[in-house]
C-alpha cells in the first residue's frame, strides 16, 4: 500500500499526480505525488498532524520565482490559494496579510489606508509567504524593513510565531526553520496621504512594465546581485541576452528587455531553463571570476 492511499480526509482540495506546470509562472515542470490546497488554517493543521512524518512537504504560493523540474515533486506540495489565504487588513499603521496574498495587493491595500513603506511590494511578482521566506525586496527596500512578525505552522502541525529579529534576515535569505508554512504576516508602516502612496506605487509599476518582461513566462530576477556587481550586466556582457539555449525542449533564453530575467519563449522544459542558468553561471565565472548565485528556486526530480 502506498502512502497516498492513507492520506487524511480534508475540506480543501487534495489531488494526486497533479501536474504543477500550470501553477508556476514559467509553465514548466512535472507532477506532484499529491497537491493539497487547504480550505483554511485548521484544515492545514489537521492534515499535517495526520500526515506520516516521512512524507516530504513543500509549500509554494503563486510559483513566481520557481522552477519545478520535469520529474515532478515527491511527497505533498501545499499551495496556499484562495480567499482564506489572501486577506489583507489595515489597522492604524499596521497591515496584516495572509500568506497567499499577492505582494502587489498588499501594496495597494496599504496605499488605500494611507500607510507608506510597503510601496516596493508593487514591484515584486509573488505572494507574502514567499516574501517572508526570501526577504523579498526591490528598489532599495526589503521585507525586513517593514515586517513586525509572522505566524505559521511547522511540519508537525504546531503553531509558530516569530518577530522580524528572529528571522535573521540577510540579502534574499532568512534563517527561519525551513519547515515552517507561513500563515500571515504583520507589517508596520508610516502615515502618508493615500494619493501620495498610490502615486509612488504607480511609478514603480510603470518602471517595472518598461524595464521587465512581465508579459512573458518568466520567474523574476534569476540571479542575486553579487556584492559590487549587477547580475543583469554580467549576463549581458557575457553575451547571453536574447540567446536561445536548448537541452530537452524548445529552449529558454534571457530576455532582450532585462538580461537577468530568464523566459520560456514557448515550449521550454525545466531542463532548458535550469541548464541555461547553470551554463550562464559557468560562463560568467570563467570570464570574470564572479560567482552568480540563483535567486530562483529549483525544486523536484530531474526529468
Active-site positions read 172, 221, 295
Beta strands (DSSP E) in the chain are 13-19, 31-37, 57-60, 66-68, 73-79, 88-91, 94-98, 115-116, 137-138, 141-142, 147-153, 159-163, 181-188, 190-191, 217-221, 253-254, 261-264, 297-299
Q: How far apart are CA 179 and CA 56, in angstroms?
A: 10
Q: What SS3 state is found at 160?
A: strand
Dist. CA 21–CA 34, nearest whole Å: 14
Cα–Cα distance measured from residue 98 to residue 174, given in angstroms and rounded to the nearest whole number: 19
Q: Are strands 73-79 and 31-37 parallel, antiparallel or unpaired?
A: parallel
Residue 253 CA to residue 39 CA, distance in Å, equals: 38
155: helix, strand or coil: coil
Which of 1, 7, 14 lies closest to 55, judged by CA?
7
The contacts of residue 215 (CB under 8 Å, 6+ apart) are none
Distance CA 36, CA 30 (A): 16
Task: Please enumerate in sequence order all residues whose Cβ is within 8 A of that of 132, keeping only pairs 6 or more positions apart, or say none.
Answer: 99, 143, 147, 150, 167, 174, 176, 182, 185
Largest Cα–Cα distance in the chain? Answer: 61
- Which is nearest to 66 in space by CA: 36, 25, 35? 25
Amino acid at each position: 500500500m502506498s502512502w497516498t492511499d492513507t492520506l487524511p480526509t480534508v475540506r480543501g482540495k487534495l489531488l494526486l499526480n497533479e501536474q504543477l506546470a500550470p501553477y508556476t509562472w514559467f509553465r514548466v515542470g512535472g507532477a506532484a505525488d499529491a497537491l493539497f490546497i487547504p480550505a483554511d488554517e485548521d484544515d492545514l493543521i489537521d492534515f499535517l498532524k495526520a500526515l506520516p512524518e516521512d512524507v516530504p512537504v513543500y509549500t509554494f504560493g503563486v510559483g513566481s520565482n520557481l522552477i519545478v523540474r520535469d520529474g515532478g515533486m515527491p511527497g505533498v506540495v501545499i499551495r496556499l490559494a484562495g480567499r482564506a489565504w489572501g486577506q489583507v487588513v489595515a489597522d492604524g499603521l499596521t497591515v496584516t496579510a495572509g500568506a497567499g496574498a499577492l505582494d502587489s495587493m498588499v501594496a495597494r491595500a496599504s496605499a488605500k489606508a494611507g500607510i507608506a513603506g510597503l510601496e516596493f511590494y508593487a514591484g515584486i511578482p509573488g505572494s507574502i509567504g514567499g516574501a517572508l521566506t526570501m526577504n523579498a525586496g526591490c528598489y532599495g527596500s526589503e521585507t525586513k524593513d517593514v515586517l513586525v512578525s509572522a505566524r505559521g505552522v511547522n511540519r508537525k502541525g504546531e503553531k509558530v510565531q516569530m518577530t522580524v529579529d528572529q528571522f535573521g534576515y540577510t540579502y534574499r535569505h532568512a534563517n527561519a526553520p525551513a519547515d515552517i508554512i507561513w500563515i500571515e504576516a504583520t507589517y508596520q508602516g508610516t502615515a502618508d496621504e493615500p494619493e501620495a502612496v498610490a502615486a509612488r506605487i504607480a511609478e514603480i509599476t510603470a518602471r517595472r512594465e518598461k524595464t521587465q518582461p512581465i508579459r512573458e513566462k518568466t520567474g523574476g530576477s534569476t540571479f542575486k546581485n553579487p556584492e559590487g556587481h549587477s547580475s543583469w550586466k554580467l549576463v549581458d556582457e557575457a553575451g547571453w541576452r536574447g540567446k536561445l539555449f536548448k537541452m530537452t525542449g524548445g529552449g529558454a533564453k534571457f530576455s532582450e528587455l532585462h538580461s537577468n530575467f530568464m523566459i520560456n519563449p514557448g515550449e521550454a522544459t525545466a531542463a532548458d531553463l535550469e541548464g541555461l542558468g547553470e551554463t550562464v553561471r559557468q560562463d560568467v565565472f570563467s570570464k570574470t571570476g564572479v560567482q552568480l548565485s540563483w535567486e530562483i528556486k529549483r525544486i523536484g526530480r530531474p526529468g
